[in-house]
Amino acid sequence: MELELQPLNIPGIENKRPVVISGPCSAETEEQVLSTAKELANVGIKIFRAGIWKPRTRPGSFEGIGETGLAWMQEVQKETGMLVTTEVATAKHVELALKAGIDILWIGARTTANPFAVQEVADALKGVDIPVFVKNPVNPDLELWIGSMERINAAGIKRMAAIHRGFTTYEKVIYRNIPMWHIPIELMRRIPNLPIFCDPSHMGGCRELIAPLSQQAMDLGFYGLMVESHCEPDKAWSDAKQQITPDVLSFILDKLVIRNTGETTESLRALRKQIDELDNKIIEVLSKRMRISREIAEYKKEHNMAVVQPGRYDEIINKRGAQGTLCGMSNDFMRSIFESIHEESVRQQIELINK
């Protein structure tokens, strides 16, 4: 199923990268919402976010102010002229948010992971024209992410964007949610006209990582950023460690280096031609290597030998890892390349032996 998309066309938002959405993790009090929004408006932010209903990992922590907060969002619209956005996870949220005139809706990571919930939100959106942004699911599953967007799109929502906020991991990493950039990059390849935001706040989980992650997202050609901010970050009722003041946000945005996307120059074209030629050579060499593997398989078959000889495999992986390091490539990269080559070689040998 292809997504049927229209340009976001958000009133007052130029298509200048990065389009920035900012505001607190949660709407806590009218005063906190209004003062954060005013400070953000003063530094030029045009889209205000605040969580009204909060999906929390454990019960007992602050689960959002609920419906009351919607009136504060309307105040933000009135007093600052900003557009406002919030997370919706149920049909009831959608109904209340639409009634309150929220400008943009987003679907949170836990909801995206659940097709029943996404379908419920999609059904509630039938016949409505509003931009809907879909965060990646908590687990690194691109199909699930795309599937959620397809459900929303099939309900008639054409103005859509994706938000990359990283993925849950048990690995010990510096991130709260590991970026796995190859997943949004593959999303760009599959759906080139889909704008993608990065949420460095939930990805990094701490203030220090917001600037480098935002820069990385810009270098990869992301369309926008969703950054959590708070008038008094240390006092935030949720995600305090990752929120920054509007002033700090403005400082970070000023320092971002924004490079052109999509523009191809002559010298870039020439370099790409060289890459294409080298890729062709790599494919040729690989196919020669596989041919020799098959000859080895013939020999093994004649002499009744097993396909995999662990000692030899270990030798290849270790030697190539070390050779690669000498040539300026990481050991991990070399290992994964030669693991894949070995896997294909074993597959071809087994196929031949069983003929």
Q: In the complex, which residues of this chain contact ligand PEP (CB under 6 A)?
A: 25, 51, 55, 87, 108-109, 135, 165, 199, 202
Pick the closer one to Mn ion by CB: 27 or 82. Answer: 27
The residue of the chain with the least Cβ separation from ligand PEP equals: 108
Pick the closer one to ligand PEP by CB: 89 or 334. Answer: 89
Q: DSSP letters along 301-316, please?
A: HHTT--S--HHHHHHH
Nearest distance from residue 162's CB to Mn ion, in Å? 18
Pick the closer one to ligand PEP by CB: 108 or 321. Answer: 108
Pick the closer one to ligand PEP by CB: 52 or 334. Answer: 52
> What residue 176 binds from ligand PEP, Mn ion, none (CB within 5 to 8 A, per partner kind)?
none
Nearest distance from residue 25's CB to Mn ion, in Å? 3
> What residue 165 binds from ligand PEP, Mn ion, none (CB within 5 to 8 A, per partner kind)?
ligand PEP
Q: DSSP letters along 192-233, please?
A: TTS-EEE-HHHHH-SGGGHHHHHHHHHHTT--EEEEEB-SSG
- 191/325 Cα distance (integer angstroms): 35
Q: Is 243 left (phi over 0), alpha (psi -120 to 50) or beta?
A: beta
What H or E segment, with its residue span, contains residue 86? Answer: strand 83-87
Q: Which residues pair with 83 in a beta bridge?
A: 47
Nearest distance from residue 164's CB to ligand PEP, in Å? 9
What H or E segment, with its residue span, contains residue 133? Answer: strand 132-135
CA dihedral 74, 120, 8, 135 (to 10 degrees): 90
Pick the closer one to ligand PEP by CB: 125 or 334. Answer: 125
Task: Return contacts of 177-180, CB within 8 angstroms, 24+ apart.
Answer: 177/138, 177/202, 177/203, 177/205, 179/203, 179/213, 179/216, 180/140
- 161/223 Cα distance (integer angstroms): 9
Report yes or no: 213 and 18 within 8 Å, Cβ to Cβ: no
Nearest distance from residue 206's CB to ligand PEP, in Å? 15
Binding stretches for Mn ion (CB under 5 A): 25, 239
Pick the closer one to ligand PEP by CB: 19 or 297. Answer: 19
> What residue 66 binds from Mn ion, ligand PEP, none (CB within 5 to 8 A, per partner kind)?
none
> What residue 109 binds from ligand PEP, Mn ion, none (CB within 5 to 8 A, per partner kind)?
ligand PEP
Pick the closer one to ligand PEP by CB: 205 or 321. Answer: 205
Tokens of 300: 């093994």
Nearest distance from residue 189's CB to ligand PEP, in Å? 23
Q: Using the 8-state DSSP alphabet, how is residue 161 labeled?
A: E
Nearest distance from residue 16's CB to ligand PEP, in Å? 23
Tokens 């990805």 — which residue? 203
Nearest distance from residue 271's CB to ligand PEP, in Å? 37
> What residue 135 binds from ligand PEP, Mn ion, none (CB within 5 to 8 A, per partner kind)?
ligand PEP
The residue of the chain with the least Cβ separation from Mn ion equals: 25
